[in-house]
Structure 1
């Protein structure tokens, strides 16, 4: 697939080619250099983590980097934290036994971290095949394993992306004051946010340790998330309609406004804490255009 075909397939603007050449082709070159050095040192795949809030362009960047690297003869594989959500039924159990808000996918505690770690482990094997988990947002459930993409091993580079990838727990005292309407009205005692924070501490940090190189698509503020997430949902709706698939589980603007409040606390905290730790930070404006790039080797 050439770059023009990629741009058309992902419904990107016509100026995305120049955008890619300016910002992301150099990024792909840097990653190539890093993974070449990694192979010489250990022979293991290079693992790249991409963080960005909802709708920031993580999935597009991931697909683009895989495309650019494969054009150079390098084998890559990618998956998202979204792909390892707990199943719908598993989250219903959490909602019934721990807190009702845990029935909604998204926050730490609603992912199968064991599956994520097992997927990374399988992708580091030197021969054979493995499959990548997938989640179907149109049904709010994990896709059947028979539909998971098959990957031939070995791979040179693995990209893991997610909205809370690289996020760290907050001090317990910071959790006492609600940050939005969802917390003040639906988590009055703070049980949900304390549970999420504890899950982040207990299970997610061990996944972050596998990442060799951190990239952040940094939103100007959390205020952008609603519009970006709404655009993301509408794009998914159009895709499903073209494929003749149901869209009844997708969200309207009112539902999205409530939905993103689940993510607000961790997103705001990550916007403050991750930039100092990331190897590369691409600062975005409200239209998701890069305004500044910071590189820390």
Structure 2
């Protein structure tokens, strides 16, 4: 078991080499074999020692969690994942675009921040891009809501500027030296959100493109004949079908992905519990938050739009996904496997 006390040592303990092979699914996912395990673990160890001071600072100032609590996740998941992404970038010899799909509470943002930190120590210029950054402007979404009153919240297919996303990724792939990246501030307009000042980035090597439906593809409309809850009424079914149709507009964006990782809860309904926990924590600290009923309406809305059982479950069994990370009820990671 990895802990802070052994990081001071020059070499990894032998048990870390044995542990790397014990989890056969994870070993296969990260290309670890009996032949290369010692070299892989030594390389990972040196990288851990190199990044750990910056990792501790990130935990304290941005993630607000004690570094030793998530040290095992750093060792067993984030470090090998960053090393794998770096290796894939080297193989294609051009900017690499990594898609990361995950719902509420699966750790997309944390994962991207830590992977970026690790990649920076490997001297890769990394851009973290969220599908939220591609939202249409507040005014454009007001017009959209007038056209389709069902779009009561931002987030479903149709509320993003897909062409903007395609242009950004294409500019990166064309190795443009200066690229303007939109950023979204969800606090503007009383929480409805709007575009903030854009960010200018230079010569990007790797993009971590994350979002709650990044990489999802339209399903057969027959799936909505007997859909799962909370898709109940004919209006619910029509909304789900329309969102499914809207997904076609995003396929040109997903085509730019070189790889897709899915952060998959053991049970999709955990997202509802995690959202409640987050809101309860906010209210306990004196900040405003939603009631449990409001949270349920909010989460159900997105399940009606793109239900995880219809869109995520079949996706992770397909060749379109390269790596699946199972997320446990306590937010730790479980199985890690490749297709």
Matches of 1:235 and 1:5 in 2, distance apart?
Answer: 23
Q: The residue matched to 1:256 in structure 2 has which SS? A: helix
Q: Tell me how far apart the structure 1 counterparts of residues 237 and 141 of structure 2 sit (CA, whole Å).
A: 19
2:128 is paired with a residue whose SS is strand
Mapped pair 1:284 → 2:327: yes
CA distance in 2 between counterparts of 1:189 and 1:81 reads 24
Structure 2 residue ranges without an equivalent (≥5): 1-52
User: Contact 2:137–2:195 at 8 Å: present in 1 too?
Assistant: no
| Preserved CA contact (<8 Å) 2:262 2:325 | yes
Match of 2:173 in 1: 124
Task: Please say which of residues 3-12 and 70-79 is displaced more in the overlay.
Answer: 3-12
CA distance in 2 between counterparts of 1:121 and 1:232 reads 36
Q: Trace 1:58-207 onto structure 2 (pairs within 5 A).
A: 58-98=108-148, 100-139=149-188, 140-144=192-196, 147-152=197-202, 154-177=203-226, 179-181=228-230, 183-184=231-232, 188=235, 190-201=237-248, 203-207=249-253
Match of 2:8 in 1: none
Question: Aligned equivalents of 2:96 and 2:151: distance in 1?
Answer: 33
Q: Does 1:294 align with 2:333?
A: no
Answer yes or no: is the 8 Å Cα contact 2:119–2:126 preserved in 1.
yes
Residues 1:164 and 1:235: Cα distance change in structure 2 (over 3 Å): farther
**What's the RMSD between the two structures over aligned residues?**
2.5
* Contact residue 219 and residue 311 of structure 2 kept, 8 A: no
Cα distance change, pair 267–94 in 1 and its aligned pair in 2 (3 A): same
* Count of residue correspondences: 278
1:77 match: secondary structure: strand
What secondary structure sits across from 1:102 in the alignment? Answer: coil
Larger Rg: 2
1:225 equivalent to 2:267? Answer no
> Match for residue 210 of structure 1?
256
Structure 1 gaps, min length 5: 242-246
TM (norm. structure 2) is 0.74
1:16 equivalent in alignment to 2:70: yes
Partners of 1:216 and 1:204 in 2: how far apart?
17
Q: Is the 8 A contact 2:127 2:208 kept in 1?
A: yes
Give the structure-1-normalised TM-score. Answer: 0.84
Q: Secondary structure at the match of 1:260?
A: helix
For 2:284 and 2:216, locate their aligned partners in 1 and report how far apart those are by CA, in whole Å: 31
Which residue does 1:244 correspond to in 2? none
SS in 2 for 1:259: helix
